[in-house]
Amino acid sequence: MTELNENHKKNLLITFQHLDKILSEFECLLDVVIPRCALQHYVNDLDPDLRKAIEKSCDHLRKTMCRILEGRNIHADKPQRSVLNQIKVTLIFADMAIEELLPKHMKGYGQLSEAAENELNAMVAQLKDLIREISDKLPKS
């Protein structure tokens, strides 16, 4: 086996991490049959056999990448990022997106009647309460 310098090894690891992320992203598409997303962007046109074949191929690709890294004595650092913290950050961004639906922001898209303003205020309040409900379930740190 040919020897790679540290820069080569780092690039190989980073590329494999990127490939793993890409696989994870498109594997999420395999789960569009889960009716959690009310506003789906995709229709699930995969039959179960094709889905299993894709999952198997992704697993094989990941195992091959791991074998290549191990064979070259390349080790990834242990994960440092917290899922819980990422959920908290994502909820902040969701709250900010909801904030943009307030009448003072929506007026930039055209005139609003008083009834429309009231509806938007009520909708925003309801959505923010639901975001807060999720946030309140999370442990405080």
Express each pLDDT in 91-139 by its tens digit: 999 999 999 999 999 999 999 999 999 999 999 999 999 999 999 999 9
Mean pLDDT confidence for 17-27: 92
The pLDDT tens digits for 64-77 are 999 999 999 999 99
| Percent of the residues in the chain that have a pLDDT greater than 90, as a whole number | 74
Contact 103, 121 (CB under 8 A): yes
∠ CA 82-12-73, rounded to 5°: 85
Instruction: Quote the CA–CA distance of 7 and 77 in Å, as a whole number.
Output: 16
For 4, which DSSP code? -
Has this prediction a pTM greater than 0.85? no
Contact 55, 34 (CB under 8 A): no
